[in-house]
Amino acid sequence: MNDFDVDGDQDKNAIEEFFAPVAGFGVTMASLFRPVVTEQYPFEKKPTAPRYHGRHQLNRHPDGLEKCIGCELCAWACPADAIYVEGGNNAPGAQYSPGERYGKVYQINYLRCIFCGLCIEACPTRALTMTNEYELADTTREGMIFDKDQLLAPLRSGMLSAPHPMVEGTTDGDYYMGSVTGPTETQVDWVREHRPEDPSLDSVATTRSSQGGQR
């Protein structure tokens, strides 16, 4: 049986304790000359992944009508109870989406949202998607509750702002199948009659003149 050397073990521990600070500085010195990996946010912003789950967006059809039909399936699917939807009925003079219903009130509480994307999967009309926008901080709790005006997608060039009638001779199914590619002259005339100062009229006119020039 080997004898245990108590004095030798104590000397070894004393030497390790003496050189311990030196070993710590060795790690510091080794890291000192490595490339800096710190991100200089917010001055330098790196692009997110293409399928990044950021702020939500309520999309539109090509003629400007809203895709949301107020079915509330996104609110039911939300595990964090972050979405509140109140549906409304479309009317001949107030047609906001194809069909009978539209999302009259739409709110997302980003203090609750966990960005899981289940609401996107539940949406039957592809009205709700998620963008790459991630800067959602605010100074108040009220500011973290986004309403429909903040979530609704901006009008693209050539779209008419709602409300306005559906494309003549179509059903909501035609919209969902992608048969509608833009506003018609009848829709433009309706908006011009009821909202002559609507800025989207100029956008439609500019887009059509540009397309005519290309031809």
Domains and CATH numbers, the chain: 56-196 (3.30.70.3270)
Record the pTM: 0.78
Decide: helix, strand or coil at residue 91. strand
Using the structure block, give the residue that is written with the tokens 């494309």: 167
Model pLDDT, residue 131: 96
DSSP one-letter code for 142: G
What does the alpha-carbon distance between residue 72 and residue 81 come to, in Å, rounded to a whole number? 12
Confidence grade of residue 7 (pLDDT, cut at 50, 70, 90)? low
CA–CA gap between residue 176 and residue 184 (Å, rounded): 17
Residue 206 has pLDDT above 60, yes or no: yes
Q: How far is CA 160 from the centre of its chain?
A: 22
User: What local confidence, expressed as pLDDT, does residue 153 receive?
Assistant: 96
Mean pLDDT of 178-198: 95
- Give the tens place of pLDDT for each residue, 45-95: 889 998 999 999 999 999 999 999 999 999 999 999 999 999 999 998 899
Give the residue ranges of DSSP H helices in 105-214.
118-122, 148-151, 172-176, 185-194, 200-214
Q: Which residue has the tokens 């500011």?
A: 143
Element (H or E) spanning 87, and its range? strand 83-89
Question: 59 or 24: whose pLDDT is higher?
Answer: 59
Q: What is the DSSP letter of 37?
A: -
pLDDT of residue 120: 97
